[in-house]
Amino acid sequence: MTIDLERFKEIQPKLKAWFPPEDHDERELPGTKAIWYFVKWQKIRDRLDEVCPDWEVEYSDPIVIEEEICIRCKITICGVSREAPGYAPLKLISNAGKNMARGSAGERATADAFKNSCELHGIARYLDEQADKDTKENFVRYMQKGGNGRAATHYRNNQQIANGSTPRTTPKPPPKPFGGTINGNTPKIITAAQRTRFYTIAKNNGWTDGAAKKLLSEHNFTSSTEITIAKYDELCKLLQDKSKAALYNSQAAPIHSAPEQNEWS
């Protein structure tokens, strides 16, 4: 597909436009009862069909990394490509031993990769406002204005959960992030979009997979799925140092993996 930057810039506002409140679904964040709003990949696909009918998509072969399956997705719009990985645990077993998975691990990783690649194009990126203390109220107001009266209730309940208390009918929200953890001392892990950015920074600055894995190991992380919010900016800054990349590349043992794949994420 030939790059058409003029058309690409023209449709950007339509791609990035917020989805109607009724297009959002709810799910509990793992390990908590906090609610997170998301948009199903089918609705995102419909947005692409509507705004840019000639969009293209490519998927890599799946690889298994520890207990997860990883698939990469490249979406091309007006000739401009964005690529991102998607992950899904091989098994989703509840504490009661019940299989919680919907679809195969490959299908879930494919959907995750698709949404992450779309997010790099700006589609549904606004959902991250739920995790930002400076913008979360804007998101709640948008949902409320659109008729989703549950948004404010979830917001208050999530605040209570983050503070380690049981939600009440008329709680007084403490200043905790939307979707926070139950235990305030539990480190918060970066999102899939942040993992994608981490991977992209590393590749753009010449880090090999082995070098990046060595850097993570020195900060007590076995993979990018363990990176905490507190360490994220520091690690990204280190990745931007090309002289450090050269040093780590020379010291790291090579990782034998499929082309364009990485074992450290």
User: What per-residue confidence (pLDDT) applies to 213?
Assistant: 86
CB atoms < 10 A from the CB of 88, how many? 23
Match 């931007």 to its residue by tokens. 240
List, in order, residues 6 or more apart from 36 with CB less than 8 Å away.
Answer: 26, 27, 28, 29, 130, 179
Positive or negative, the CA dihedral 169, 173, 176, 177 is positive
243 three-class SS: helix
d(CA 61, CA 258): 9
In the chain, the domains with their CATH numbers are 1-186 (3.30.390.80), 192-251 (no CATH)
User: What per-residue confidence (pLDDT) applies to 224?
Assistant: 85
The one-digit pLDDT tens for each residue of the chain (265 residues) are 789 999 999 999 999 999 999 999 988 877 677 788 999 999 999 999 999 999 999 999 999 988 899 999 999 999 999 999 999 998 877 666 676 667 889 999 999 999 999 999 999 999 998 888 788 888 888 888 765 556 556 556 555 555 565 555 444 443 333 333 334 445 788 888 788 888 889 988 999 888 888 898 888 888 888 898 889 999 999 999 998 999 988 887 655 443 344 445 4
pTM value is 0.56
